[in-house]
Structure formats: structure tokens, C-alpha cells
A and B are shown apart, each in its own frame.
Chain A
Amino acid sequence: MTLTGSSRLLHHPIVIQLGEPLLEIAGSLQSSAVDGPGNRYVIFLQGCNFDCVACHNPTTIGRCDACGACVDACPHGALSFPEVGVVAYEEAACDHCRACVAPCPIDSDPAIRVVSAETVVDEIRGVAGFLSGITVTGGEPTMQLEALVALFTAIKADPELSRLTTLVDSNGTLDRAGWERLLPVTDGAMIDLKAASPDLHEHMTGHGNEPVKRSIELLAPTGKLAEVRLLVIEGVTDTDAELEAWAAFVAGVDPQIPVRVMTFRHQGTRPQAQEWPETSPEAAERVRDRLSGLALEAVLPP
């Protein structure tokens, strides 16, 4: 079992792992065409050290600290307190009514699976013939670094699965030592740079962007920076000054870095995010054109 510090700290919380590292999984998809090249198995890990206003999976942000507020809220008896410091979730009893989510003070989802890398590898093996690879997202997947490294290592060591590419979809807060652990078993990282201006980044995510920029600088020369993403919030992240600063930073690292322009959608977001409009196709096109005009040479098509 994993014990963590506050989920609101920017830097990775102190994690005490006893024995084999386990993955805390908020959900997974057998098949996705939108999380990297080809058809991919997607794993959403629980817990994020950012608190993005626009987060479309806000219940993956908090990592459960076993306060127990959810246990009595469950009408199906799927949650229990088997021992101090542990909230146990029984998947078979759950009917996914989500009644457990509202009472949580830290936007955590108690309905998570805590499983070994080997369990996940077995599940992937059953559908591997349909896949180009695996993408781990979240939450912030690198917060579960040891378990993530164990998962990717197991995939790369399996003769049937080693052809699958391993991607992480990350907020870029992992430090150099962490990337050095992860990169040998990772084929690519997709990094969100929510804003170039520190103040705007703070507003968007609750934190500064220095660690994110450092990750981009570190990853680019390795050839494993699969893409850097910009989420377009009209009137917020697509102002002239912001786009110029964003492009100047990324092009300054390497103008060939693949850049993906992401559109904002209300689905899944919290009420405060819904005051922003969803991104129109025209606005996304405008941002793509603008970034291409600002010396970025690999702006990806929609």
C-alpha cells in the first residue's frame, strides 16, 4: 500500500512503497484512437500534482488519503474500511453511480483499482493483437513513477508485447532523475505546456511552469518528446502575447518539436471551467496557423 503526502504539493509527494510497486488505476480503455499513433490501450492513473481549472477528469486529481468520507455515501456497500489508513473498493459490488465522488474533500475517486504491473500486463496481452501501443495518462502518471517504470519494463521484457510502444501523457513536472528512470523503457512523452507566461500558468494549473519547461528542454534532445500540447481557451491562452511567448519558448528549444493544438470541451469539467467557451474549429485553426507562422515547423494537423 502506498502512503502519500498532500496531493496539493507541486513536487512529487514523498511515497513510501513497501514491496512491489502497485498501480493506482482510475480507469482504462482497451482501445483508443486519440492517445497517440495507432490504436492504443490507455491507462488513467489516479492523482495529479496540478489542479488545472480546465481538467476534464477532475476526479483523478486527488490521491485518496483514506479519510473515509465516501464509505458511508456508497449505497451499494462497495467501499469499506478494512484497516486504518485504507479505503477498500470492491469492483463487483459497484454500479458506477458515482455517489462516492461528491463527498470527497480532495476530488479523489475511491473507485480505483490498486494492481500490480503483472496484472495489467496480463490484461494487455488479451488485446495486444489490436494495438500499436500503450499510453499512460491520468491524473499525472509520473506521480506513480516506480509502478509506471515497473509496468513499462514488464511490457518491454515480454516477447509478445515488446513491439508495443509505450507513451506517457504528462504535465511535465517530473525531475531529471525521474526522467532518467523512465526514459529507458518509454518510447515517447506527450507534454502539456498550458501557458508560457508564469502568471497565466499559475492561473491555469495552480503552479508555475518552470519544471514543465525544464522537462521539455530535457526531453527534446532525446528524440522522445512525442509532442508538446497547447490547450486553446479562447481569449485566455490564445492571446497574441501568449502565443508568441509559447512559440518562442518551444521553437527556442527546437523548432521541429511536434506541436498539437488541443480544443477545450466542457465534458467532465468542473463548473468554474464551464464559464469558458468550448474551442471553435476556427479558433483552433487560427492558433495552428499562428504557431506555424511563429517558427514552429511541426504543428500537427487536427
Chain B
Amino acid sequence: MADDTRNRITAVVTAPNLTYKQKVQQLALLAEAELPYPKLSDVAEQAMETGLVSDLHEGPAPYRPRYVLPDYAVALRNGSEYLELEAPRDLEEAVDLLEILYHHVPSITGHPVYFGDIDTLLLPYLDDSWTDERLDRLMTRFWRFLDRTIPDAFAHANVGPTDNPIARSILRVDRELAQVVPNLTLKWDPAVSSDALLREAAVSIAVVNKPHIANDPVIGSDFAEGYGVVSCYNTLPLGGGSHTLVRLDLKESLAQHSGDIDSYLTTTLPEHIELTFEVIEARVRYLVEEAGFYEQSFLVEEGLIHRDRFTAMFGVFGLAELVNGLLGDKRYGIDPEATELAHRVVEIVADLVESREVAHCRNGRAMLHAQSGISEDVGVTAGARIPIGEEPEIVDHVLAVAPHHGHFGSGISDIFALEASVRTNPEAIVDIAKGAFEQGMREITFNVEGSDLVRVTGYMVKLSDIEKLRAEGSRINSTGLGAESVENWGLLGRVPRVISHEIDPRMSSVLE
């Protein structure tokens, strides 16, 4: 074993501020890192080395999909033979079954990223014996269980689009508890949801910056099998998920280009997209053909997930730096010419992603994703966002980014900062969300100034936890990522308009 590896292992084993389980997870990553990467061409290898293409430290030998979205309704209906559980008979047994199942759902973070559409799953068990007060007590227990046993803020619950007592209870309880886990999305459909439900969500947003709101009819039309919103606002097929997420750094792509705008769009960009696909396909093949995840998992055997519902996510980021670099004197989000070029670049990328067949993927295709950055990104803007500090007024901001949204099938997050004054006027949040959805936005996230619970990148952290982190360590895995992001992006010192983010599996904010 190389000394370097030995030193890294020792650092993890002796780290004073990691929990036992966090150490186990880090040791697994170090072990995997000893394996060779799936075979790539020299030019693709070089793209990985320069950071043009990145797998976000997923590891060289993928043995579980990045994101798994089980169709929990199947287990609620049938019970589980593997887990030796009967189908639940009442609401409390249904919650118990879900809590047990979560511990058998893998993902890249080592924790489930999707808890299900909780209200839809539990409504069949709701009978007249459940007053709002009793329901709130059960949901409080459920929510505490999630936060205390699945300490990762990428884990995500969905509610809606119907207005129902469980969705209402969850919104009440979630803002009362103000926990990091679970992250929460409201699926909203103007034809199905009531305005009152959206107002209830706005009241929560004003207090705890969640839920994120998804435009249900727009996203739903891309997923006949249903979908979930998971992790940092990825929209993925229900009963499936994503094998992997590989991203193309558009800023770096421009740095490796020599020539004019047209030659970039017609030659360099397509070449770099194909390199990204090469990495995606190599990883997917390893996961499916070598590691054999889909042959081993009881989730497949019992019909909670289906291999043919797994796609691969094609991520891009740094659109702003690419466009501003191509034009020189025009700024994306400020000058219409730059914003139009941004729309054109995204159309080209989307067409190329749509036309490229990928082995073992749902419909034979990857899905485009506006990747929200990771904690080590510095000087490059997340996904297709307008750079921090250059965002126009909120309505102009929506109008500038909304045309992108139809192209990002597996998710795009734009985060809008609101002044603390909306706390007394949550109706303003309702208005802006409705206006944004009318413009075709797939999803929208708000950050209200002055909350302890803030969205650093898409996931939640408590500012008070960050203060304590280095001294004491944190119970929550992603707080470390939050701390690093806060420092790299100067988040605490500016308007809370933030960058989203997936994961830093190296826990570098704690270990280095």
C-alpha cells in the first residue's frame, strides 16, 4: 500500500471530529479509490485530469446507483418478503414500514436521497380517527426519526400536488421543527392544488426556507412513470433514478477552445459533450455489467425499482462564464445578447444529449441537468445560473432563466433571495412562484434573509451548526460541505443568493 493511502486512512481513523459511521463511509471511499477507473480513451482520461469532465468524486468503481427513487407504494401494498414484513394495516404501521425501508435504500451519499411522496403514500391509511392534532404528533415523531437517523441533508421528502391533511400536517410540523432533514419539495399543480396549500407552503418558506416548489404538470409530462424531486433538486423517474452524474465544466470547455463563437458551438462543444458521454457510459457499464447492482438488490426483485427506469445525468455548469467569455464585453443576465447566447448554448447541448444513445439507460438516453456545483468550485457559477451579485430584479431574473427550464429534464435549480420583509407578507412568495410557473419554470427555490436554517447550495444547513462544526464535529454529514461552501462563496457576507451543490465525499472541510 502506498504511504499516501496509508496516511489518508490513518487521518480518517484518528479524526477527532468524525462519527464512527462517518469514518466507515470515508474508509469505504478510500478503499474504492484504490481500484482502477473503467477503461477510457486517452483524450477522455485527459478531460478528467483537467477537470473538463468530472464524476464529482463518485469513485472509480460504481457499485450502487447515484440516486435511487424506490416506488415505496409497492412495498406498502405488498409488504416485503426480503424484510419479512407484512403489508401495513394502518397509518402507524405504514410509517414504520417506510422507516425500515429507508435503511435499505442506497445512494451515492450512503443514505437514501428520496423518502417518497409522503402524503400520497400515507393517505390510503388516513381514517376518521386521525385528528389534525394526532396527525401532527405522528408526523413529528416521523420527522424526528428522519433527522436523527439519516443525518444527510440531501435526503428529500415530497408532498402534493393535492391539498390534503397529511401535506398540511407535514408543512406545519416541518416549519415547527426547523430541521435540516428532510429537505422538502411541494409538487404544485394549479389545476389540482389549492391556492391555500401554496399559501401554507409560503408561510413555511418564510420561516424555514423550505419547501422547494416543483411545477408538477410540467415536470410530470416528462415522466409517464411518475417522478420524485431528490437531493439538490434533481427530477428523476419514480421506481428508478440515475446510475451516475457526470458533469461538463463549460468554463473549462471555453478555456480549451481556440477560435470564434461559431467554431466553439459547432466543433469544440460537441467534442466535449462526447467526451462526457464516454465517461458516463463507462461508469454505467461498470455499474450494470461488472458490479451487478441490479442483479443483487431486493428492491429490484420486489419491484420497488426497475433497471430500465434508471437514466444517467448529464450535468453542465459554468454557463455564465462560458457565455461571458465567448462575448467578451457582454454579461449573461444583464445584456440581452448574452442571455440569448446562453439560451442558444443550452439548446445545442440539449439537442446533442437528446440525440445520443446511452447503454442501459431509460429510453436509451441520458437526461440533461444544470449541476449546482460542489463545495470546492471557486470562480465558476453553478449550472445555468446567473452569477451571484449580477442577478437582475426578481421578475427579470425569472424571465432570463425560464427559457432554460424546458431543456433540463433531470432538474435545474434557480434560487431567488427574498428580503426578510416577506415574512409578514408570504402572499408575495405565492405571487412570484405562480408568475415563475406561468413562464414555464420547472421548479423554484426561495431563500429568505435572516433564517438560521439556510440553503447553502440546495440543501439545508443551520448557521448555528456551522459555528460549532470545527470545534465539535457535526452529527449531520452535509454540514461540513456547508461550512466549506460558506467560506468559498462568501455566503454569509452577502445577499443570501446561493449556489447549489451535490456532494464533497472527501469531507475536506473536516479532514484537510
Contact = CB atoms under 8 A, between A and B. Distances in A.
A31 interface: yes
A117 B439 CA distance: 26
B425 A131 contact: no
Contacts of A31: 393-395, 432
Contacts of A302: 424
B438 to A, nearest CB: 4
A153 interface: no
Given A30-B393, A31-B395, 17 more contacts: A30-B396, A33-B422, A33-B428, A34-B419, A34-B421, A34-B425, A38-B425, A38-B427, A38-B428, A129-B439, A130-B394, A130-B395, A130-B398, A130-B431, A130-B436, A131-B435, A302-B424
Interface in B414-440: 418-419, 421-422, 424-425, 427-428, 430-432, 434-436, 438-439
Interface of A: 29-31, 33-34, 37-40, 127, 129-132, 301-302
Contacts of A131: 431, 435
28 contacts: A30-B394, A30-B396, A31-B393, A31-B394, A34-B425, A38-B425, A38-B428, A38-B431, A39-B428, A39-B431, A39-B432, A39-B435, A40-B428, A127-B395, A127-B435, A129-B434, A129-B435, A129-B438, A130-B394, A130-B395, A130-B431, A130-B432, A130-B435, A130-B436, A131-B431, A131-B435, A132-B431, A301-B424
Nearest to A302: B424
Contacts of A30: 393-396
Contacts of B427: 37-39, 132
A33 B433 CA distance: 13
B501 to A, nearest CB: 27
Most chain B CB atoms below 10 A, which of A29, A30, A37, A39: A39
B419 A33 contact: yes
Interface of A is mostly: loop
Contacts of B393: 29-31
Contacts of B394: 30-31, 130
A39 B432 CA distance: 7
Contacts of B418: 33
Contacts of A37: 425, 427
A12 B423 CA distance: 37
Contacts of B436: 130
Nearest to B423: A302
Nearest to A131: B431
A131 B394 CA distance: 12
Nearest to B439: A129
Interface in B384-421: 393-396, 398, 418-419, 421
Most chain B CB atoms below 10 A, which of A31, A33, A34, A132: A33
Nearest to B427: A38
Contacts of B434: 129-130
Contacts of B432: 31, 39, 130
A8 B407 CA distance: 58
A130 B427 CA distance: 11
B435 A33 contact: no
Contacts of B424: 301-302
Question: Which 10 pairs show the lowest CB-CB distances between chains A and B?
Answer: A130-B435, A39-B431, A33-B428, A38-B427, A39-B428, A129-B435, A129-B438, A30-B395, A33-B422, A33-B425
A129 B435 CA distance: 4
A218 B418 CA distance: 37
Contacts of A33: 418-419, 421-422, 425, 428
Contacts of B431: 38-39, 130-132
